[in-house]
Amino acid sequence: MTARPLRIGSLLALVLLCTAHVGSPDVWYEGDAGPYHVIVYVRVPGVVPGIADINVQVVGEQPKQVTAVVNLFDATAGTPPPDIAKSSGADGWYATRLWIMSPGSNSVTVGVKGSRGEGSVIVPVAAVESRRLPFERALAYTLIGVGIVLFAGIVTIAGAAAREAGLPPGETADAGRVRTGRLVMLGTALSLGLLLWGGKRWWDAQDAAFQTQLYRPFSVAASIERTDSARLFHLTITDSSWIMRGDSVWLREHDITQWSALVPDHGKLMHLFLIREEGMGAIAHLHPTTDDSVHFTSPLPTLPAGRYSVYGDIVHASGFAKTLVTEIDLPDMGPAKGAPAGNDAIYVGGGKSEIDTLADGATIRWTRGTTPLIEGRPAPLSFDVREADGSPGKLEPYLGMPAHAVVSRDDGSVFIHLHTMGTVSTASQQMFVQQQGTMAPPAMPAMSMPVDGRLTFPYAFPKPGRYRIWVQVKRKERIETAAFDADVGYLRAVSTIFRSSALTRASSA
């Protein structure tokens, strides 16, 4: 198998393991729960019903109580009582485990009680059946061995019963009884074989039905249109379940649940990213428009020729966020024609290890410290923006956020669009707040822009490997991008803290 088919196969397989974003299903949120500043990490189960690990850090506080409860977006029953999270003894973290019983758009409501009173926050969680649990080989061999013993035992007992059940004590079975016993053993073996065959047929049917129910993002197709004045990038949703969403008869005939409409996230119906596969040497962050929520179109800026991975982030009115994935080959576009207009942005070049210089002379430094990057461990994604004279960098709201970041693994198996509030979608959060009506809508983080030029993105790399991180800020009405490279190591030890959570699956490298 060549490198490209291997990469494509890996990408398509990992798409099935995600909802919003690719290969990184866990949820991170940083914001305020009333008067308390919290960081919330939710390890999402791969099967539903399943258990989610909930971890909450109350920054700079010693709360009296931290609670968490899971609720489905369109739940009709009453909300279950919240579970009390227990202190992990590490930096103010509290942990609990909650069942997610229904697939779809869920939320975790975190409550905090302390000296400042009570506060709560809703964190959207998209939980879907995204994988088929493997059968452990050791358990399989054990069960096969037990099954062989039981099979042989049942056949032997049946034969012995037919051969010797009617004999007086001490007498030996004659040839006729021996022959009868053998025939009964044969019949018993055939009957058990038929039962096992029927059981396997039933098992295979159930397994096939389950696999058809696994979550799959909408199928999409990408194309380029040349006009007299520009090149246009088209992304079309080709999935019948979306195209036919208005036909209730068709949906009912195909046993498909109707998807809710799309809602803007940060003012845009779609956030589109193109990442060059060769060396991750170019990225475009675009915001296509649409008339029917099926065909999305955006001016295509000048990018180096090559094959690109395409990711489109969208949010449904149910609060369910997803990422659409495809690939496209871009031709040679000739010399660059300037930066994209508005809130679109491109970056061409490699990544830096610690500091990158912007076009206007300002710098963005990754204050990563000396702690090695390990899969599953909270990553130090903190950045310091400085003017050319060394003073704190002046930032402007970029689509309602202080900054945006994109993280991608070099094989395309991980892609995520981050904000300083984490991995969650603001639109999803607002949908849940309106649905539950339990609190005022969350304030957009951009309302408190950093004055010291410092940015932090809560996140943990889901797997080892080589990554690139693009950090995007808005300055003087222009989108500026810095790029950094990261090598993430393997998990080598299990921490004594949060043993049930992926948050601290490692305490040393």
pLDDT at residue 305 greater than cutoff 50 = yes
34 and 142 inside one domain = no
CA 499 and chain centroid, separation? 21
CA–CA gap between residue 87 and residue 56 (Å, rounded)? 9
CA–CA gap between residue 107 and residue 428 (Å, rounded)? 9
3-class secondary structure, 488:
strand
224 and 322 inside one domain = yes
Asked if residues 505 and 376 have their Cβ atoms less than 8 Å apart, the reply is: yes
329 and 305 inside one domain = yes
Q: What is the pLDDT of residue 500?
A: 41
CATH code assigned at 241: 2.60.40
Give a yes or no: residue 475 inside a domain. no
pLDDT average, residue stretch 343-368 = 94
Give a yes or no: residue 75 inside a domain. yes
CATH code assigned at 105: 2.60.40.10
Domain count, the chain: 3
Residue 50: which domain range? 24-127
**Concatenated DSSP letters of 36-99:** EEEEEEEE--SSSSEEEEEEEEETT---SEEEEEEEETT--SPPPPPEEPEE-SSTTEEEEEEE
CA–CA gap between residue 426 and residue 122 (Å, rounded)? 11
pLDDT band at 10 (very low <50, low <70, confident <90, very high): very low
225 and 311 inside one domain = yes
Pairing of strands 50-58, 36-43: antiparallel
Give a yes or no: residue 414 inside a domain. no
313 and 233 inside one domain = yes
3-class secondary structure, 118:
strand
3-class secondary structure, 22:
strand
pLDDT average, residue stretch 307-324 = 93
Q: How far is CA 455 from CA 46, 266, 394, 426, in A?
A: 31, 18, 12, 18
CA–CA gap between residue 188 and residue 200 (Å, rounded)? 18
| Mean pLDDT over each residue of the chain, to the nearest integer | 85
Q: What is the pLDDT of residue 131?
A: 66
285 and 326 inside one domain = yes
CA–CA gap between residue 12 and residue 412 (Å, rounded)? 10
pLDDT at residue 486 greater than cutoff 70 = yes
pLDDT average, residue stretch 98-116 = 90
Residue with tokens 């940083």: 30
227 and 288 inside one domain = yes
Last residue within a domain, chosen from 340, 366, 390: 340
49: cis peptide before it, omega within 30°? yes
Q: What is the pLDDT of residue 91?
A: 73
Give a yes or no: residue 435 inside a domain. no
237 and 194 inside one domain = no
**Residue 445, both tokens:** 């983080």
275 strand-pairing partners: 283, 309
Give a yes or no: residue 205 inside a domain. yes
143 and 173 inside one domain = yes
